[in-house]
Amino acid sequence: MPDPLTVASGICAAGALVTTWQLRSRALRAEAEIRHLQAELTAERHAANHDPLTGLPNRRGFYRIAATLLTDAAGQPLIAVVLDLDDFKQINDRYGHAAGDQVLISVAQRLAAFAGDNLVARLGGDEFAGLLTSPTVDRRWIEHATRRLCESLAAPIPLGGLSVRVTASVGLAPVTGPAQLTEALDRADAAMYRAKSLGSADSPRQLVDTAHLAEC
Average pLDDT over residues 157-161: 85
Q: Please check whether residue 215 is in contact with residue 96, taking contact to mean a CB–CB distance below 8 angstroms.
A: no
In angstroms, rounded to a whole number, what is the distance separating the alpha carbons of residues 201 and 204? 7
User: Catalytic positions, please?
Assistant: 126
Q: What is the dihedral of CA 155, 157, 162, 167, to 10 degrees?
A: -60
Buried b (16+ CB within 10 A) or exposed e, 147-163: eebbeebeeebebeeee
In angstroms, rounded to a whole number, what is the distance separating the alpha carbons of residues 168 and 100? 15
- The sheet carrying 127-133 orders its strands as 119-124, 127-133, 78-85, 168-175, 205-208
What is the number of other CB atoms lying within 10 angstroms of the CB of residue 214? 14
Q: What is the pLDDT of residue 1?
A: 56
Interval 120-156: pLDDT, tens: 999 999 999 999 887 766 777 777 888 888 888 888 8
Strands 157-159 and 162-164: antiparallel
Give Cα 115 to chain centroid, integer Å.
11
**H helices, E strands: number in the chain:** 6, 7
Q: What is the pLDDT of residue 202?
A: 46
Q: What is the pLDDT of residue 48?
A: 83
Average pLDDT over residues 10-28: 67
- Average pLDDT score over the chain: 79
Interval 67-88: pLDDT, tens: 888 887 666 788 899 999 988 8
